[in-house]
Amino acid sequence: MLVGLIVLSTSIVLIAIGLYGLMSSRNIIRTLLSSEILLNASILFTFTLSYLNGLTYPPVIYSVFAISTALIEVVVAFAAVILYFRSKGSLEVD
């Protein structure tokens, strides 16, 4: 139970840090990295709540899809970043 609470608190803190990174940075790559923090936090959050409710399969299936989709999203996002850099010569968002 205590372990679950520690991990749950960690995921809430990670969500806060990810949101802070999204709001405060104007660099595109830093924004993408902050969204990755949010992804890790949400997966941790899902697993902790499932652990506390005695569930095994739903979080695993959900997270397998989430991680695989995140991989696709990262590749597409970085392709867009490269095109943005080639056209603007900068990674700063106006």
Partner 1 sequence: MYLTSDVSSYLYEGVTALLAAFAIASAITIVKQKVVLYSAVALAFLGFSTAALIALLSPSAYGIYSVFHVLLYVGATVTFIALTIVLFRGIDVKPSPSAGVALGVVIAVLVAIVTAILIYPSVQASSTVPPALSLTELANQLLDAYWFPIIVLIVGLITTVIEALALARRR
Interacting residue ranges for partner 1, rule: CB under 8 A? 1-10, 12-27, 29-30, 32-34, 36-37, 40, 43-44, 47-57, 59-61, 63-65, 67-72, 74-76, 78-79, 81-82, 85, 91-92
Q: Which tokens is 26 given?
A: 């104007």
For 93, other C-beta atoms within 10 Å of its C-beta total: 11
Write down the least CB distance from residue 87 to partner 1, Å: 14
One-letter amino acid at 16 equals: A
Q: Which of 39, 47, 36 is nearest to 3 (CA)?
A: 47
Contact between 43 and 63 under an 8 Å Cβ cutoff? The reply is yes
